[in-house]
Structure 1
Amino acid sequence: MTNKKKHILLLASSPKSLVNFRGPLIRDLIASGHRVSVGAPDINQELREQLEEMGATVHETPLKRTGTGILADIYYGTVLKRIMARERPDIVLTYTIKPNIWGAFAASLLGISSVAMVTGLGYAFIENGSESFRRRFVRGVAQKLYRAATNRNRKVIFQNPDDPIDFVALGCLKDETKIAIINGSGVDLQHYARTPLPDAPVFLMIARLLRNKGVTEYGEAALRVLAKYPQARFLLTGPFDEGPDTVTRAELDHWVDGGLEYLGPSSDVRNVLAQARIFVLPSYREGTPRSVLEAMATGRTVITSDAPGCRETVKNGENGFLVPIQNVDALANAMEYAINHPEMISRMAEASWRLARDRYEVGAVNQTIMRHLGL
């Protein structure tokens, strides 16, 4: 670690994530005396003001998050290179696929050190038996681009032990000495403080309405359980997504007609978490799911999938339950068990909070990231 103060350029694909997921990191970097610039697309005035109040310099970047047009991506990389040439950061820190790839290329052309954070392998890397030629093609291109990008990175940071193994196996990373692992994005235990558990069996899922998040399994399991336990409640909050994996409005309406309560997107999930007794995320794959960490910090039992990223957050039978991915039967059974064993759920909720405190506290995670950056 060096005492020299550095200029870090942090690049994201989602402007809100800079505040919601990386705000504590930005603050900790600035509190340590470093200069921070950030870049993302579609930064509105409110977000710009929040970031500037933290002390960050803000740059607009022309990124289409879900597009596959190579010309638009090359233009994005050209703008990144222009920003880097003007600002001359010491380190470029990126996360999510497009900033990771094009940020590495732009930094390399200027001789600037870059570090990528792989916060999950994402839709393009999740295989299924009926996938289209186009999806296979997109995955193949993404793998080749990622390999070229990580060849240029100084370090590649992952959020769970499964992702780097698969990343190397897919040919996305050649030099395994670049691998570093952190405990997700961390969670602010003061912001997401513990709240009392409701007595009623209330289940909650917070996610973008994507199939790979397990929204379909949650909706179908909710209908099964409600047919036997009408006193239970099933809450779902999160926005529709413009990506190819999105859940349809008709599917959501079917679940709502059966009793599921859709709350829409939420700008502050703490109020929603306070209503819930059990948090559910049957995702197919994550880096480390931030929504689960927030639920654990507020003291909630967790039902999640036995999948990369998710399985690290639950010790099965201690702070929740692990279920196989894409398995409505197993998910519904775990939900029924939670309804029928309320005293166990209360003990598991306490264990969740302790795990969040001991493994995922955001300050400790940020110190690890800063160490990997050489700060």
Structure 2
Amino acid sequence: MKKICFVTTVYMTYKCFLKQLSQYLYETGEYDISLICNNEEEARKDMPSYVHYYPVDMKRGVSLSAFGAIKMIGEILEREKFDIVQYSTPNAAFYTSIAAKKKQVPVRLYCQWGIRYMGFEGWKRTIFKYLEKKTCDNSTFIEVESHNIRNFSLEEKLYTSDKSCVIWNGSASGVDLNKFDISQKNYWRKKIRTMLDLSDEDIVFAFAGRLTADKGVNELLEAFLNIEKNYPYVKLLMLGGMDNHESLNQSVFEQAKKSKNIVFTGNVPNVEEYYAASDVFVAPSYREGFGLVVIEAESMGLPAIVSNVPGQIDAIKENETGLTCVVKDSSSLKQAMEKLIKDIDLRISLGSEAARYVEENYEQKKLFRYLKKHRDELISGEK
């Protein structure tokens, strides 16, 4: 039995990106599963019975509590003698890479799901690049979520090519095509459109994620508020919690909340049904490791408009499954959105190709087989 320990800062990361992989590894009968993350009530309630849970508080941002967290993680690693420890998200990865190297964990796998310092400037960029480089140096291998993030990292000399790879076509967890079941699209479309009082003629754009500036929400709202002046039959679904909206342009945000054409749904458990009710997916994020929400939306036959940054552009085939816009540029985003409003044939063809593209390249169980094989090879020393 091989012992693997996943480490993330918050439980939500495990739940969204690692829970299904953990179950897959457990069900092979070859892996014993552990998780280190913050001490959270949701984790205690939701944790699968086969997962050994070790709560360690890891505050976001820079904090003196980091020393205590590194010490606690190290004690767990020393006691449990894991064959492999896999870590992701900035703080958890930095802390665990230090602790795991000190305790001589044989396989220290850093899953690089994005680079925090991308887009930073000056001293802030210097500091966060140093932290990213130290995490990579402390790790025995880096599993990168997308090819463009890996290319960027190699150019930045964060690690060497022989110490890193992208598994299959990238992404942390692929798409569960049983959940994102395109055969249910017409039923879900009618259900959600009826619930939201949307007509069949409405053209619906969808966004999914945290309502924060770095997700491109300011640019999206600005673009849409201009679009609705000329296209009153166009709607926008904002699928995500409003807890962290302080970073937004508050004037634009207040205008958006007053618009009859913008629907703020909050977090929804059945996001696939909202995708089915939509016509175009929009993801103008400033930085991503990989556009997971993009391929999930594409799996439901939606063309996607994404910002032209590493990670995001890996999730589409430009002009085949979607379009790109210039990052942080609401005019460029507006232009792409208007193109798909006006050209119904293009919208339909991009969406059809998007569904096929995801089915062939990101089916979850196939990705999990590749991920398991890679971990087996790392543990056996074949990699």
Q: Name the TM-score, length of structure 1 as normaliser.
A: 0.89
Number of positions where the alignment pairs a residue of Structure 1 with one of Structure 2 = 357
Given that 2:291 and 2:314 are in contact with CA atoms closer than 8 Å, whether structure 1 keeps it comes out as no
The equivalent position to 2:179 in structure 1, one of 191, 195, 212, is 191
Partner of 2:311: 309
Which AA in structure 2 matches 1:150? C
Aligned counterpart for 1:140 among listed residues 126, 133, 141: 126
Instruction: Identify the residue that residue 116 of structure 1 maps to in structure 2.
Output: 110
Give the match for residue 152 of structure 1.
Answer: 138
Task: Judge conservation of contact 2:292–2:315 (CA < 8 Å) in 1.
Answer: no
Within the candidate set 125, 144, 147, 1:161 is matched to 147
What secondary structure sits across from 1:205 in the alignment? strand
Structure-1 separation of matches of 2:250 and 2:74: 40
Moved more, 113-122 or 326-335: 326-335
Residue aligned with 1:22, SS: helix
Q: Is the 8 A contact 1:97 1:118 kept in 2?
A: no
Q: Hey, what's the Cα distance between the residues in 2 that align with 1:18 and 1:88? A: 21
Higher RCO by CA contacts (8 Å cutoff, separation 6 or greater): 1
**Counterparts of 2:13 and 2:181, CA distance in 1:** 20
Deviation of 1:15 (Å): 0.7
Query: How far is 1:286 from its partner?
Result: 1.1
160, 164, 167: which one aligns with 1:179? 164
Give structure 1 stretches of 5+ with no counterpart.
Answer: none
Structure 1 window deviating more from structure 2 (359-368 vs 200-209): it is 359-368
Q: Does 1:351 align with 2:353?
A: yes
Alpha-carbon deviations, 1:317-374, whole Å to 9, x = none? 2212111212212211221121222233222212111111111111222222223323
> Match for residue 247 of structure 2?
246
Partner of 1:62: 57
SS at 1:271 equivalent: helix
Alignment match, 2:196: none
**Contact map agreement 1:210 1:241 (CA 8 A) in 2:** no
Q: Which residue is equivalent to 2:226?
A: 224
- Output the CA distance in 2 between the equivalents of 1:187 and 1:64: 30
1:41-56 equivalent positions in 2, closer than 5 A: 41-45=38-42, 47-53=43-49, 55-56=50-51
Letter in 2 for 1:100: A
Selected match of 1:363 from 352, 365, 369? 365
- Partners of 2:56 and 2:242 in 1: how far apart? 23
Gaps of 5+ in 2: 190-199, 378-383
Looking at structure 2, the residues matched to 271 and 61 of structure 1 have their Cα atoms a distance apart, in angstroms, of 36
- Contact 2:306 2:324 survives alignment (8 Å): yes
Tell me which stretches of 4 or more aligned residues in structure 1 moved more than 6 Å. none
- Which amino acid in structure 2 is aligned with residue 75 of structure 1? G
Q: How far apart are residue 240 of structure 1 and its match?
A: 3.8
Q: CA deviation at 1:214?
A: 0.9
Q: 1:49 deviation in Å?
A: 4.1
Distance change (3 Å), C-alpha of 1:204 and 1:167: same
Other-structure match for 1:270: 272
| Equivalent residues of 2:147, 2:166 under 8 A apart | yes
State the TM-score, normalizing by the size of structure 2.
Answer: 0.87
Letter of the structure 2 residue corresponding to residue 73 of structure 1: A
Once the 2 structures are TM-superposed, how far is the Cα of residue 17 of structure 1 from its aligned partner?
Answer: 2.1
